[in-house]
Amino acid sequence: MSLLSTISSLRSDDKYTDLEIRCQGKVFNVHKAIVCKQVEFFAACVDGNFQESQTGVIEMKEDIPEIVDYYTVKTKTPAVETSESTIDLDRSELLLHSYMYTIADKYMVEKLCAIAAQRFKSAIWKAGEKDLHTFTSVLKAVFEGSPEDDRVFKDLCIAFSCEWYRKLGEREDFRNFCRANGDVCLEILDKQSALKELAFKSCAEAAKQSIAPCQKCNPPQFPAFHFGDSQNNVRAPRSTNIFGPPEGLGTRNGTSIFLRTT
């Protein structure tokens, strides 16, 4: 058995675990050597002269057990896993990733932040009407659970809200969220007007030059975004970076996002 596979096999059972993480009644047995090396928070728990170092138990009172599970699994794994089969959260992928991002940010696990951001990005491209019922929770998690300057998720959520504002507007939970978070609501509004204007301008430009939109330039792996309602099929000219690169975007985890439309 190689050293790497030995370490890797450690997470398959609770044997030799030496640290207990409790979260809302759930118990996770982990290895200090692995979690503390990856997460400073755990290291501080174990090394600091606090209660946790005496008891060997860390109570994570306000975190979500499933996420903690996922989170501890992640941090227990020496090599970052790429498959998403660990937890079956297909139907609420956006929510999973935003929670994951929140917890990763809280405990300052930058690698996990980056993975969550990556996943969230690809998930929001695929997201559609079926995701609307959890989207308000996503917004809550994103706007309340990450630092103010961290725009990675926020810009993506605003764009998504712009696309679906009519449908979202019909949902009571979304309306309540808007009532409580006027600034987010304002952001959506600003974005929406900016998009309209941009779309109008470029449409006029395209008509003037009689250039037909080029279908080939639409890479199939990137699903097209629809702006405004779906019937009004106005397209922005190709290679316009709608989102930026926006200022402050991705400054914390180093990912920048470019959405390309045709």
Partner 1 sequence: MATPSSFEASMPTVPHGESGDFEAMWDILRSALREIHEKNASQLSFEQLYRASYKIVLKKQGDRLYDRVKEFEEQWFGAQVMPTIRKLITNNLVNITVGGLSGTTANERRLTGEEFMKGLKASWEDHITVMNMTTDVLMYMDRVYCADNRKASIFTTAMGLFRDHILRSPLSAVDSNLITFDILNSVILDQIAMERQGDVINKHHIRSCVYMLEGLYETDEEKEEDKLYLTSFEPAFLQASRAFYAQECLALLRDSTASDWLRKTKKRLAEEEARCQTTIANSTKAKITKVVEQEMISKHLSEFLVMEGSGLQAMIENDRYGDLASLYEVISRVDPEKKPLCEAVESRVVALGLQVNKVIEETDFSAAGAEDGEAGEGPAKPAKKNSGAAMTAGALKWVEEVLRLKNKFDRMANDCFNSDPLLEQSITNSFRAFINQFPRCSEYVSLFIDDNLKRGIKGKTEAEVDILLDKATTFIQYIQDKDMFERYYKKHLARRLLQNKSESSEVEKQMISRMKMEMGNAFTSKLEGMFKDLAMSDELTAGYQNYIRNLGDLDRKQIDLNISVLTTNNWPTDSMGGGSAEREENRKSCNWPPEITTLQESFKAFYLKERNGRMLTWLGYQGNADVKMEFPKIPGKSGTRSFLMNCPTYSMLILLLFNDLALDETISFEEIQERTNIPTNDLVKSLYTLSVVPKGKVLNKHPNNKEKPKKGDAFSFNPTFTSKAIKFKAPVISGQISNKVEGEDERKQTEKDNDKSRSIMIDATIVRTMKARQTLSHLDLFTQVIQQLASRFKPDIPMMKKQIESLIEREYMERVDGAETATYRYLA
Which stretches of the chain bind partner 1, using CB under 8 A? Answer: 24, 40-41, 44-45, 47-54, 58-66, 87-89, 91-92, 95, 99, 106, 108, 133-134, 137, 140-141, 144-149, 180
**Angstrom distance (rounded) from CA 77 to CA 69:** 12
Shortest spacing between CB 247 and partner 1, in angstroms: 14
Do residues 23 and 68 lie in contact, with contact meaning Cβ atoms separated by under 8 Å? yes
Q: Are 84 and 126 in contact (CB under 8 A)?
A: no
Q: How far is the CB of 140 from partner 1 (least distance, A)?
A: 6
Tell me whether residue 4 or residue 27 sits nearer to partner 1 (CB atom): 27
For partner 1, give the closer residue by CB, 63 or 155.
Answer: 63
**Which residue, 187 or 227, is less far from partner 1 as judged by CB?**
187
Cβ closest to partner 1, residue 66 vs residue 84: 66
For the bound state, the minimum distance from the C-beta of residue 63 to partner 1, rounded and expressed in Å, comes to: 8
Phi, psi of 252 (to 5 degrees): -90, -35
Amino acid (1-letter code) at residue 71: Y
Task: Please give the torsion angle defined by the CA atoms of residues 25, 26, 27 and 32, in that order, rounded to the nearest 10 degrees.
Answer: -110
Separation of CA 99 from chain center: 7
Between 121 and 140, whose beta carbon lies closer to partner 1? Answer: 140
CB of 219 to partner 1, least distance (A): 31
Tell me how far, at minimum, the Cβ of 250 lies from partner 1, in Å: 14
Minimum Å gap between C-beta 122 and partner 1 is 19
Q: Which is nearer to partner 1, 10 or 104 (CB)?
A: 104
Burial of 238 per CB tally in 10 Å (0-12, 13-18, 19+): middle
- Whether the CA torsion 41, 46, 50, 54 is positive or negative: it is positive
